[in-house]
Structure 1
Amino acid sequence: MLTHLAGPFVIGIDAGGTKTRCVVLTLGGTLAGCGTGPGANPNSGGDTAGALSTALREALGDIDRSLVIGGVFGIAGAGSAGRPAAVTAARSAWHAAGLRGSPAVVTDIAVAFAAGTTAPKGIVVFSGTGAGAAVINDGAIVQRADGYGWLVGDQGSAVWLGREAVGAALAALDGRARATVLTDAVPRALLGGAVVAQLDGARCRSRHRRALALAGSTVLPGAGGGSTLVLAGPAEPAPNPQLAQAIIKEVYGRPPAALGRLGPVVADAATAGDAVARQIISEAAEWLLRDVDAVRPALGDPCAPVVMHGSVLREGPVADAVRAGLTDRFAEAPRRAGDGAVGAASLALRRLGYPPPPPARVDSGQRSR
């Protein structure tokens, strides 16, 4: 925190499903403060007002509130359906911090684009807690595809990857599908190795007792009276209902956004060559590229920049596949976004008539979402 910097200041917030980031910039684009808070999207279990307040107070520190002349809050779920609640939460946090006026409220999609370019118009494809693509013009969404939340959309997001991974692991555990690295990796990531070992040990002991009980009565009378039925042990490992139920309890006991922590698990399994994980990764990239294809007609300018944003598109197999697909579709390679909170502050500067700093110039020390 560089509180000795002279104001005035602007504030930018990128409030996603799993993390809220806040920065304070001078009018020249120099970082004066930064803060973090928990996820703010109410659709995935976040407390919007509380998350905004936490990040805002930390970023401001002892900065003179009277020197803050504007701000932009990019909030996940702040589209037309959730905008009234997002605006109310933003104003509540702003005033609770002792600031005058009110911040502008946009979706986190708009600040994601601004985090990758100073151009006013272009395409952003994003995949973090949520996922989708949009054409942006001067901070406003011209057209969007997906970004509809974990329940009915967000295909290709970290949460979607997690949900697919859990589904694949459960299908293998109860015998509906073939084995995959995810059968072991998912429960270990969700429950921890000690719990998985304990459940596996209990299962093995139960199977051993069952085998001993059957050892002395493997020949039973047949249905016809004169024939017999010989019981044999299973050729394949029996399903593990205890482990499956433990996974279910963990998944449903946390907010949906928590599934996003399994995104790296799927990426690691795919990189190691697991066929099931590779299929999930391929489908994620396909969904994200379909989003781009859906909004591309609204772009107009074929030379406008394309920005990739979010944890899934920062690095890894999904990012590599989407980057390759975008390079094939456009005149130049896509740009990688920086801190979304800096993007929001850049929009605040633009709205006040000041030039936004190049995205790579301001480094808050932490990546968004």
Structure 2
Amino acid sequence: MTSRRHEPGEYVLAVDSGGSGLRVALGTVDGDAPLATAAAAEPVRTGPAGIDAAHLLELLLPAARHLLAGRGDATVVAAALGAAGMATLGDQLRAELPAALAAALGVRRLALAADAVTAYAGAVGQRPGAVVAAGTGLIALGTDLTQWRRADGWGHLLGDSGGGAWIGRAGLDAAMRAHDGRRGGSAALLSRLEAVFGPAQELPGLLYPRTDRPAVLASFAPEVAACAAHDPVAGAILRDAAEHIAEAAAAVCPAAGLDGAEYEVALTGGLFRMGDPLLVPLREKLAQRLPHARAVPGSGDPLTGALRIAQALATGGLRLPHHPTLLCVPVPSPVSAPEKGHDQG
């Protein structure tokens, strides 16, 4: 794809769809920051057919039209949408969104990405490297700019090792062991369990009926971090988490080349706000496993990454590798006239 000159009135649209809602940003083709943002607090529904394309459009289109209002004959030359679950649940989005966004907003080029890809673009940009996105769950993604490599992100029952739910569950397990008098228990974590949830024996009745069990488990992870400095069991849990995170990063980071290039491993997501109790052992593990890489804090969030992808798509400068489910760029189709209403709030 060759680069093209952009004209006044040309804009790009970025979308980040996650568990807490949907965010939209409008930017220029070459601007560093969005011109304006909008949000819908309601998350996009997921059903038997995967992520619900009609519901996503129901949330996205009013927000996009609001951002375009008052901008005259605005043209959306490119859009990028990152969504949690895109890789495994995005078939309906890939089938329906290109034509729908072309018809409704006149979108000329569209990229559909997994949220791990937009997190990568926000944190690393379009350079070889890796990103570990960790919050309640955990996924690692890396590229040498020829292909993507993914590790974990399989959910709290099958993986997400080292993530918030994993740490919280390990902490609660140690607390319950102390309650029972079993090996590996932690009196400090038992005390925190009782302070947060009430009597230990009542925890199963509180936890198991919840549909948001991963979030409930992850809510205990900060308690583990708070105990780590004085409780050896809590400290060991965070060291184990650091080992899992480093393993995931090593699985996806490009191998050291003959030129000795140093790659960045960006750490992004709420888990890393734990600070030193997790970051100190994690830096040690990363240095052991990836001596050719440098751990850095993520410089941008997934919405920033979606904006960068849309800008690169608009100028013909997208260097991140295409992938059928991780980063899909459908072949442009003839653009229908967009629906009226861009100038309506």
Normalised by the length of structure 1, the TM-score is: 0.67
CA distance in 1, matches of 2:233, 2:240: 11
2:228, 2:235 within 8 Å by CA — same for their partners in 1?
yes
Identity %: 28
Q: Unmatched 5+ residue regions in structure 1?
A: 1-5, 201-239, 357-369
The aligned runs of 1:127-146 (5 Å cut-off) are 127-137=134-144, 142-146=148-152
CA distance 1:95–1:176, change in 2 (3 Å): farther
CA distance 1:307–1:352, change in 2 (3 Å): same
| Secondary structure in 1 matching 2:246 | helix
For each residue in 1:134-180, what CA deviation from the matched residue of structure 2 results, as whole angstroms up to 9, or x when unmatched? 22255x85212112222211101112222223323333334435343
CA distance in 2, matches of 1:39, 1:280: 32
User: 4+ residue stretches of structure 1 with deviation over 6 A?
Assistant: none
Normalised by the length of structure 2, the TM-score is: 0.71
CA distance 1:123–1:339, change in 2 (3 Å): same
The reply on whether 1:25 has 2:27 as its aligned counterpart is yes
Superposed displacement of residue 74, structure 1: 1.8
Superposed displacement of residue 187, structure 1: 4.5
CA distance 1:116–1:94, change in 2 (3 Å): same
Superposed displacement of residue 75, structure 1: 1.7
CA distance in 2, matches of 1:68, 1:117: 25
CA distance in 2, matches of 1:55, 1:169: 44
CA distance 1:311–1:48, change in 2 (3 Å): farther
CA distance in 1, matches of 2:45, 2:172: 22
CA distance in 1, matches of 2:110, 2:91: 14
The reply on whether 1:63 has 2:71 as its aligned counterpart is no
Superposed displacement of residue 332, structure 1: 5.7
Q: Which residue of 2 aligns with 1:334?
A: 295
Considering Cα pairs closer than 8 Å and 6+ residues apart, tell me whether 1 or 2 has the greater RCO: 2
**CA RMSD in angstroms, aligned pairs only:** 3.6
CA distance 1:119–1:95, change in 2 (3 Å): closer
Quick one: which of 168, 171, 176 aligns to 1:165? Answer: 171
1:33, 1:59 within 8 Å by CA — same for their partners in 2?
no
CA distance in 1, matches of 2:235, 2:96: 40
Quick one: which of 95, 108, 132 aligns to 1:125? Answer: 132
Q: Which residue of 1 aligns with 2:268?
A: 309
CA distance in 2, matches of 1:17, 1:353: 31
| Secondary structure in 2 matching 1:305 | strand
The reply on whether 1:262 has 2:220 as its aligned counterpart is yes
The reply on whether 1:75 has 2:83 as its aligned counterpart is yes
Q: Unmatched 5+ residue regions in structure 2?
A: 1-7, 319-345
Superposed displacement of residue 56, structure 1: 6.8
Count of aligned residue pairs for this structure pair: 296
Instruction: State the AA in 2 paired with 1:10.
Output: V
- State which structure, 1 or 2, has the greater radius of gyration over its C-alpha atoms: 1
CA distance in 1, matches of 2:238, 2:10: 46
